[in-house]
Amino acid sequence: METILHQISENSSWVSVVTLLLLLIWEGYAPFFSFFRKQMKKRAHHALRNFALTIMNAVMTSFGFIWVWLWAADFTTANQLGLLNQFFLPVWAKALAAVLLFDAWTYWWHRFSHIVPFLWRFHRVHHSDPQMDVTTSNRFHIGEIFISNTVRIALIILFGAEFWHIALFTALMFPVVQFQHANIGLPPKFDRLLRTLFVTPHMHKVHHSRYYKETNSNYTSMLSIWDRLFGSFRLSKDLSKIEFGLNHFDDDSKQSVLGMLATPASKNRTLPKAENPSKS
Ligand SMILES: [Zn+2]
């Protein structure tokens, strides 16, 4: 078990790249929404804009934060600090407990990002994509990633996590995040079965809806249990009627790389409730 978990953690980058390629092919052959039907150029343009943000975040994280996290994890382990170091647990159990703690935290961080106006300013960039697909899974403003990466330094110490626990969490969580954003549809019975444990494309399409009651639901990244436990689980009767994006952010000027980078400074500061049209 321990060896398998270590191997998963060491291959997180490859897992993400392979998942991305498979989902791009799936979206090309059997898209759920026909945003880009016979419009390869439009699809590539949309993907390149989202990838621009992905690259900025990857550079900042790989060349900066990873080293700080490594230091924090080594300091924590050397001094036996944090929650997980207060109990004797087998290596695999400690690693899985760390994954659960990080996943629960990610749920709450996402929920705060919808509630706290300052955080929502940044998180809007992720929600303003009117054509959500697998490339949206990495469309985050660099400011949002900077803040959440900084908070993670404290979490490593608080949880008593080792560095490889973070790599393991990323390797397990990120393919689920890519899958849930993909412009694909699963047979309803299969989606139902899968969402007993994981976030599915159905669940996350609801989260990216313009309708505020749907936007403010399904916050979890990997395990669907958090939404069920904290009362934010929601399904849609007709997924095909969902409209992605945010009002006031549909213009091409807001969807360009510069437009997305400027989004936190946009005068429209309102939270999802006021931004989205109520259909109820
Ligand atoms: Zn969100």
Strands, DSSP E only, in 2-142?
A: none
Task: Note whether residue 167 is domain-resident.
Answer: yes
Interacting residues of 93 by C-beta distance below 8 A, sequence separation 6+: none
What's the pLDDT at 266? 87
Report residue 32: phi and psi, to 5°: -75, -50
Q: Ligand 1 center to residue 223 CA distance, Å?
A: 15
> For residue 279, what pLDDT band results from cuts at 50, 70 and 90?
very low
Over residues 177-198, mean pLDDT? 96
User: What type of residue sits at position 13?
Assistant: S
**Predicted confidence (pLDDT) per residue in 71-113, tens digit:** 999 999 999 999 999 988 999 999 999 999 999 999 999 999 9
Nearest to 129 by CA among 207, 15, 216, 25: 207
Ligand 1 centre to CA of 117 (Å) is 13
Residue 187 CB neighbours (<10 A): 8
- Residue 272 in this model has a pLDDT that exceeds 80: no
Q: Mind listing the pLDDT tens digit for each residue in 66-76?
A: 999 999 999 99
Q: Is residue 223 part of a domain?
A: no
Ligand 1 center to 220 CA (angstroms): 9
The answer to whether position 94 is within a domain reads yes
Given a cut of 80, whether residue 269 has pLDDT beyond it is no
Q: Is 214 within a domain?
A: no
Rounded to two decimals, what is the model's pTM? 0.91
Structural domain count, the chain: 1
Range of the domain at 63: 2-186+251-275
State the distance from the centre of ligand 1 to the C-alpha of 77, rounded, in angstroms: 33
| 101 located within any domain | yes
Average per-residue pLDDT for the chain: 92
Q: Is the pLDDT of residue 278 over 80?
A: no
Whether residue 206 is contained in a domain is answered as: no
* 91 belongs to a structural domain: yes
Kind and range of the H or E element at 59?
Answer: helix 40-60
> Which DSSP category does 199 fall into?
-
In DSSP terms, 223 is beta-bridged to 198
CA of 4 to the centre of ligand 1 (A): 32
Kindly give, in sequence order, each residue whose CB lies less than 8 Å from that of residue 214, ignoring residues fewer than 6 positions away. Answer: 206, 207, 234, 236, 242
